Chains A and B, each alone.
Chain A
Amino acid sequence: MNKIELNKVSVIYPVFENSKARSLKNTLTSKLIGGNIHQKNNKNYIRALDDISLEIKQGDRYAISGANGAGKSTFLKLVAGCIEPSHGYINRAGKISSLLNLSMGLDGELTALENIELRGGLYNFTKKEIRRFSDDVLNFSELEHYANIQISQYSSGMSLRLAFAMSTYIAPEILIIDEIIAVGDSNFQEKSKKRIEKLMNKNSILLLASHSSDLQEYYCNKKVNFNKGKIELSKI
């Protein structure tokens, strides 16, 4: 059964605002000379998530809301597994996929076909699976005629269409979306909206960060509001 359990989770980012904290020489000398004082006192931290406990069960479709810098993105990164908690414990059960950054690994120097092959490699696909993946992506993004052109020569709309088609190919059990992204011209926007809806219906847990209350009401059945790293559960 798919679920995500967070038990008293905090995420604290260290801030390397000056190059001193990044310097091996400075760290070693301050340790040798008995320093460490300025390190401890001068080091800045950001407490992005503060003592959060939450249980997300199968069938839950959470809307994530909150002001900028309230901890939404950190929460999504934490659930996606990009970061581990500084304190507390998180248990993730299920295949997780995130649409946090559509352009993940997209390389302007490579053609669309090469980019598709590279992404297929990242998904650990076999050659046969890559061929199927490639057909689907080119067909959906309507870029068949531009498959052998470097994507640095694409318009921004075209490369977003390619990125969108690649990122939404796999239907995961737990889906994490940072804002619903409708890309391209009006025709393609309709198409991409349908594809993402299909994806959201297939998975058993959805986490959707969005500022639009219409979208939240439409897609979600629970809501969690972030405020300065803390959460409040509320009804849709």
Chain B
Amino acid sequence: MIFFYDLLNASKSWRVWSSLAKFDIIKRYKRSFLGPWWITLTMAILILGIGILYSQLFKLDFKNYLLYLSINFTIWAFMRDSILESCQTLIEAKALLHNEKWNILIFTFRVIYKNFIIFLHNIIIFLILGIFLIDQLSIISVLMSISALFFLVIFLLPICILCSIINTRFRDFYMIISNIMQLLFFLSPILFKKDLLLSFDWLLYINPLALFLLMINEPILTNQFNFSYLSYLTIYFIICTCFTAFIFLRYKNKITYWL
């Protein structure tokens, strides 16, 4: 219960984490001509480059493939950067944590919120492409995708909290996670369509990040919503939250000693 109480308190301190996240972004793009729009431009170039090559390799329709890539890359970047940056978030906040009492969950909110702002910059590419390339779209599909995205944000919370605690104690955890993320990138249906997996489709169900990609992009691109994804993800979410709550309660008071 203490975990959920702390979680609630951290979410109430939205002014704290939102201003930390805001200045993280301001600092990164300070004195550059395009400012945070560099994020969008970088992503657009990546999508275009990969789109041209892979649509040829997989023999797919270029326009549809571009649409598919743009939504997948945007979601993937959000998930990957939130998880990887959360590993370092407490270590980077050392000066603050050593000065007064903090609810450490605030720093996880900071990372997720910062990456969500970046996500909003990136999703513009998909929205622009969508206006020209999507023929029919029902409101229900859009709502389904948005709710799935909302679930993803909630799902990232326990994962990122867990990563931040473990990496503060074991500094090689970051390297392990970045390798896992790289592997998951190739195992998830980001560049390829899930139908290509054939008998390997079980790979999707053991990888929650892949399930999230499908749960968000399928309603909007193919007007389908597969409830089995939701049931798998709910189970993963419950397991992950319980485990994180356990680790948090056990080691909460030791974290500042590890910094």
Query: Which residue numbers of A lie inside 8 Å of B, CB to CB?
Result: 13-14, 16, 19, 22-25, 27, 77, 80-84, 96-98, 100-101, 103-105, 107, 109-110, 114, 117-118, 120-122, 124-126
Q: List chain A residues, Cβ under 8 A from B18.
A: 121
12 A-B pairs within 8 Å (CB atoms) are namely: A22-B172, A27-B170, A83-B253, A97-B100, A104-B96, A104-B100, A105-B95, A109-B27, A114-B23, A121-B19, A122-B19, A124-B15
- For B100, give its contact among A13, A81, A103, A114 (CB under 8 Å): A81
CB–CB B101/A122 < 8 A: no
Instruction: List chain B residues, Cβ under 8 A from A16.
Output: 258
In the complex, the chain A residue whose C-beta lies closest to that of B13 is: A124
The residue that B27 contacts in the complex, of A13, A110, A125, with Cβ under 8 A, is: A110
Q: From A28, which residue of chain B is reached at the shortest CB distance?
A: B170
- Chain B residues positioned under 8 Å from A84 (CB to CB): 253, 256
Q: Which 7 A-B pairs have the closest CB atoms?
A: A121-B19, A81-B101, A24-B170, A84-B253, A104-B99, A22-B171, A101-B99
- B residues less than 8 Å from A19 (CB atoms): 171
Neighbouring A residues of B19 by C-beta, 8 Å: 117-118, 120-122
Count of chain B residues with a beta carbon within 8 Å of a chain A beta carbon: 29
Chain A residue, CB-CB nearest to B176? A24
C-alpha spacing A117/B252, complex, angstroms: 29
A82 touches B27 (CB 8 A): no
Chain A residues positioned under 8 Å from B173 (CB to CB): 24
- In the complex, which of the residues B15, B99, B176 contacts A82, with contact meaning CB atoms closer than 8 Å? B99
Indicate if B4 sits at the interface (CB-CB under 8 A).
no
Q: For residue A114, which residues in chain B have a CB less than 8 angstroms away from its CB?
A: 23, 26
Cβ of B159 within 8 Å of any chain A Cβ, yes or no, is no
Cβ contacts B160-172/A at 8 Å (1 or 0 each): 0000001001111
Count of inter-chain pairs, beta carbons less than 8 A: 86
A13 closest partner in B (C-beta): B257
A129 to chain B, nearest CB (A): 10
Residues of B within 8 A of A100 (CB): 98-100
For B91-111 the 0/1 string (1 means CB < 8 A from A) is 000011111110000000000
Q: Which residues of B have CB within 8 Å of A101?
A: 95, 98-99
The yes or no answer to B240 lying at the interface (CB within 8 A) is no
Min CB gap A146→B, angstroms: 17
Least CB separation from A108: chain B residue = B27
* Residues from chain B with Cβ under 8 Å of A125 in the complex: 15
Cα distance, A96 to B102, chains bound together (Å):
12
| B9 nearest CB across to chain A (Å) | 11
The interface centre, meaning the residue of A81, A84, A96, A107 with most chain B CB atoms within 10 A of its CB, is A84
Counting CB contacts under 8 A, is B149 at the interface?
A: no
A109 x B16 contact (CB < 8 A): no
Contact in complex: A22, B20 (CB < 8 Å): no
- Is A80 touching B100 in the complex (CB atoms < 8 A)? yes
Q: Are A124 and B100 touching (Cβ within 8 A)?
A: no
Question: Least Cβ distance of B44 to chain A in Å?
Answer: 27
Nearest B-chain residue to A121, judged by Cβ: B19
Smallest CB-CB separation from B256: which chain A residue?
A: A83
- Taking a contact as CB atoms under 8 Å apart, the answer to whether A126 and B15 are in contact is yes
Instruction: Beyond the given A101-B98, A104-B95, A117-B19, please list 7 additional residue pairs across the A-B interface where CB-CB is below 8 A.
Output: A24-B170, A80-B99, A98-B99, A121-B20, A122-B20, A122-B96, A124-B13
Chain A residues with Cβ below 8 Å from B172 are 22-25
Q: Does B30 contact A (CB under 8 A)?
A: yes
Contact check, A77 vs B176: say whether CB atoms are below 8 A apart.
Answer: no
Residue of B nearest to A16 (CB): B258
Residues of B with C-beta under 8 A to A103: 95
By beta carbon, the residue of chain A nearest B12 is A124
CB <8 Å contact, A77 and B98: yes
Do the beta carbons of B171 and A118 come within 8 Å of each other? Answer: no
- Least distance between A11 CB and chain B CB atoms (Å): 9
Per the bound structure, the CA–CA distance linking A15 and B229 in Å amounts to 45
Distance, CA A107 to CA B101, complexed state (A)? 20
Asked whether A82 lies within 8 Å of B26 as measured between CB atoms, the reply is no
Chain A nearest CB: distance from B23 CB in Å?
5
A22/B170 in contact, CB under 8 A: yes
